[in-house]
Structure 1
Amino acid sequence: VSGFESSANFVEEQEKGVFPKTLRNMWAIVSVINPLMAVFALALFTIPVLQSDEYQNTLLIEMGEQVGGQGLAIVVALDAFLVLSGAVLTSFVGVTGLIERMTLDRIMPPFFLKRNKRGSSYRIIIMFFLLSASVLLITEGNVKLLAGVYTISFLSVMALFGIGNILLKIRRNKLPRPERASWFAVLIAISAVIVALIGNILMPPKDGLPSNLSVFLYYFIPSILFIIMMLNRTVLLKLLLKIIDAIFNPVQRYFKRLDRRILRNINKINSQEFVFFTKGDDIATLNKVMLYIKKNEHTRKLKIVIVKNDQVKVPEKLKEEIEFLDKEYPEIKIEFVVEEGNFSPELINSFSEKWDIPINFMFIGSPGDKFPYKIEELGGVRLII
């Protein structure tokens, strides 16, 4: 664990002049410890032993046991556990900061900015944990394959550091910065990283396991595609709108016409006017008429008609009661009509022609014993009470 790959996560939080010292210290430590470990391993074991699966998975522990016995092996194992635990914690911290920064830059969806009560971006942490666990499942816990995937990721980040340095030299050459690397140093570093990257990619996979590159691409390609989609989401959404319009516009026009036709039919049905002939019924009876019409008939218009003569007078409160019902049933327009004459089939026919309302849309209440006509003689007038 060198720390080079995560240095970009803490460079902005360091005091001026500290970061170059950090890089120098990491470089010095890696330059000394890594070669010495390789030399010690070659001094202690033969190459065939070093290439065996057991020694590749726990090489430092085997070296400690060979030199200092079981006690030193346990110390090395505990130290490795603590160091790798710190690396895991650092990775979670680094990924959280990276995804938050990308989200604030609108490269990732705002879904990841949700925090819990303690201020942790738990969605990022859960996502990273699931991705890490999935890598472990895909590689079946094979340390060599895991190391190969990590190496590709690590070397890719190192190469991007060098490429970023070149872009700064070309496009932001006058940008003030505390440290500058020469072209020669940058090109040598990138070349060395690329050689190591190619060597790691060309390593043959173990029997029954995928190659380092294939596992890396399982995650790299979807991630890049997702980021490209996010960066071009407005273009993609506009394209989606055009596709939807091209597919559904003809159908939409058809359904709009169908919708208008249906609405016209509904309005036509509801525009049919009904007639109720009253003898001066009280408001309770008229309310029953309204309830029946509202429940059973499709209409927005109703004429309440009273035919007055010497025997039938218009009650004084009838008009007020009808106006009250008109307010209580706003969905039905009630018109109060007073006609003179004698209620008869001929009068009903004349009203039907005058108002253009079929007789079967006219109602009366139940007639009394003295009613001079039979119901069937009225030409189809209906009883509702």
Structure 2
Amino acid sequence: MSKKLNQLEATAVCGNDISSSCLYVSALAIVYSGQYAWIALLMVAGVLFFFRGIYGEVVGALPLNGGAYNALLNTTKKSTASLAASLTVLSYMATAVISASEAVKYMHSIWVVIPIIPMTIALLLIFMGLVILGIGESSKVAIAIFVFHLFSLSLLCGFSIYYFAHNGFDVLVANFNTPVKGGIMSALFLGFSAAMLGISGFESSANYVEEQKAGVFPKTLRNMWIVVTVFNPLIAFLALAIIPMPTVLEKQDALLSYLGSTSGGNWLSLLIGIDAALVLSGAVLTSFVGVGGLMKRMALDRILPKIMLKTNRRGSSYIIFVLFFALCSSILLVTRGDLAKLAGVYTIAFLSVMILFGVGNLLLKINRSRLPRPERSTWLGLIIAIISVIAAILGNIVLNPQYLAIFIEYLIPTLLVVFFMLYRVSIFKIFLLILEHLFPDKGILFQKLNAKTKSLLHRINDQQFVYFTNHDDVATLNKVMLYIKENEPTKRVKIVAVLGKNESVAKNLLKDVDVLNRAYPKIQMDFIEEPGSFTPEKIRELSQRWRIPTNFMFIGSPGDKFPYKIQELGEVRLII
């Protein structure tokens, strides 16, 4: 069994990403909100508070890797879930490349002989090696970076408060009297939209929840929220209290380093520079860990090729990490280190994932109301959170209209890969028809291509699926068959009733299965009465006996009296 992460380890892995936002989000908020930046950042913290409840409910009910993808997979169609997965992968790629590049630029500012692009690729390579070694090893590095980062920020805030206390209110008053372009409401809206980037990384913990110890996940959400709520508004306020507004705008690229040199001297500025390089490197680690959990789940569900599930002796899915490294390096080389394009991808992809997670929570409340969960988000908080993120996306498009076009350029190729896997049966069938027209003489080339395509189709359709029941009526079973037909390429389904002593199936069940067999002639349905109790052990036993992965086994949404937690059933999916 792989090592499970405790609270500090799990928080450090995702916390480096979200806490690295302190390095840029305060300056970004000041650029658009001026002296009201700290209010815009408090508004962001308020939205994040609502997302704590949203993530807590969804992942508490469905504590499986995959984040928004997992939430939507268990509440709606597989194609919708695949869109969320594609956006999340895009977000992680952009995060890894931007963070690695910015980390190296901070190193370059300290030691100018460092070559930016080669060193960025080297940094990506180092973290690929760490995650291949295992999440336990990489979490130790994450803890060291996270603790040092919190220490550096605390030191910076301490010196800034001391400087402010001894130098009076003159700078603060002057900054607060500066005219605001477009009015206070416009400034707050634009500042809020830009500052929403400061919560990127909050979604990461949900993508490796299976690697966390029981009860750790909600604590990671709380810890990340505290960091964002305390440091981001405080740093923005202290910058406005110490540094004149024109200087803030001039030094926005390295505002915290300048704040350090002003309040504490060159040594503090150097410390912040070193911290920035380290914590941005930590955000690269977060991307690797998050994408590993997500892409493994996608491969299990046949949205990505099965080869990605290969593991080394440490249980690490090394092919996923090598592929992710290759993609990130290629993007870096293609853009030649000019990451303005990726910023647009990163902004819209990340915020879209947040919206989809909110939609997942909405569908969970409606479609899976019986499913037990340790906490519930409020309807008001859910609606406010979704509307707020939609507003943030619109605000970012207003600020940078070109971001939308760039985002679509990157999204389309990603969706083509994912949706090819989803609809490959239909694509292969169309290909067979095209072959018939292209090769009417049915020569050797036709025979080879035809045989290979039919072999692939047979292999895909031969995958069996299981639905557990012992009391459902024909209407419910029809919903099951419709879901399978629309979402899973297969021609074989087992309807399984696990029966204890003196238990029997509902009288109508066998007749209903016969009715559905006639209604779906292309899908072979086998009804099986399995002796025993419906337990996690029974599911694993049947999975091994029939060679059907647990993520191809389905159940209806269990109620409060169900004796097991959903994560104890493995990757079993809820479909009704």
TM-score by length of 2: 0.40
User: CA offsets per residue over residues 34-56 of structure 1, 9 Å max, x none?
Assistant: 1112222333334444444xx33
Q: 1:57, 1:143 within 8 Å by CA — same for their partners in 2?
A: no
SS of the residue aligned with 1:176?
coil
Listed as ranges, the gaps of 5+ residues in structure 1 are: 206-210, 257-385
1:162 maps to a residue whose letter is G
User: CA offsets per residue over residues 267-302 of structure 1, 9 Å max, x none?
Assistant: xxxxxxxxxxxxxxxxxxxxxxxxxxxxxxxxxxxx
2:362 maps to a residue whose letter is I
The alpha carbon displacement at 1:126 in A equals 2.6
Closer, same or farther: CA 67–129 of 1 in aligned 2, 3 Å: same
SS of the residue aligned with 1:58?
helix
Match of 1:229 in 2: 420
Q: 1:162, 1:189 within 8 Å by CA — same for their partners in 2?
A: yes
Aligned residues between the structures: 248
Match of 1:327 in 2: none
1:66 maps to a residue whose letter is T
Closer, same or farther: CA 217–49 of 1 in aligned 2, 3 Å: farther
User: CA offsets per residue over residues 60-100 of structure 1, 9 Å max, x none?
Assistant: 21221222121001111111222112211121122122111
Paired with 1:126 and 1:181, the residues of 2 have a C-alpha distance of 38
1:240 maps to a residue whose letter is F
Aligned counterpart in structure 2 of residue 10 of structure 1, from 194, 199, 208? 208
Q: CA RMSD for the aligned pairs? A: 2.7
TM-score by length of 1: 0.58
The alpha carbon displacement at 1:4 in A equals 0.8
Match of 2:32 in 1: none
1:22 matched to 2:213: no
Q: 1:57, 1:144 within 8 Å by CA — same for their partners in 2?
A: no
Paired with 2:383 and 2:305, the residues of 1 have a C-alpha distance of 36
The alpha carbon displacement at 1:200 in A equals 1.6
Paired with 2:335 and 2:352, the residues of 1 have a C-alpha distance of 20
2:400 maps to a residue whose letter is P
Match of 2:307 in 1: 111
* Greater Rg over alpha carbons, structure: 1
Paired with 1:16 and 1:173, the residues of 2 have a C-alpha distance of 23
Q: How does 1:159-170 map to 2 (within 5 A)?
A: 159-170=355-366
1:36 matched to 2:226: no
Listed as ranges, the gaps of 5+ residues in structure 2 are: 1-16, 19-200, 447-576
SS of the residue aligned with 2:279?
helix
Paired with 2:303 and 2:239, the residues of 1 have a C-alpha distance of 45
User: CA offsets per residue over residues 312-357 of structure 1, 9 Å max, x none?
Assistant: xxxxxxxxxxxxxxxxxxxxxxxxxxxxxxxxxxxxxxxxxxxxxx
2:301 maps to a residue whose letter is D
1:178 maps to a residue whose letter is P
Match of 2:382 in 1: 186
* Seq. identity, %: 54
Match of 1:76 in 2: 272
User: CA offsets per residue over residues 6-39 of structure 1, 9 Å max, x none?
Assistant: 0212323334433222212221221121111222
More off after superposition, 131-140 vs 162-171: 131-140
The alpha carbon displacement at 1:215 in A equals 3.4
Q: How does 1:52-91 map to 2 (within 5 A)?
A: 52=250, 55-91=251-287
Q: 1:6, 1:94 within 8 Å by CA — same for their partners in 2?
A: yes
Paired with 1:148 and 1:75, the residues of 2 have a C-alpha distance of 30
Q: 1:136, 1:146 within 8 Å by CA — same for their partners in 2?
A: no
2:403 maps to a residue whose letter is N
Match of 1:216 in 2: 407
Q: 2:345, 2:407 within 8 Å by CA — same for their partners in 1?
A: yes
1:242 matched to 2:433: yes
2:318 maps to a residue whose letter is Y
Paired with 1:147 and 1:252, the residues of 2 have a C-alpha distance of 51
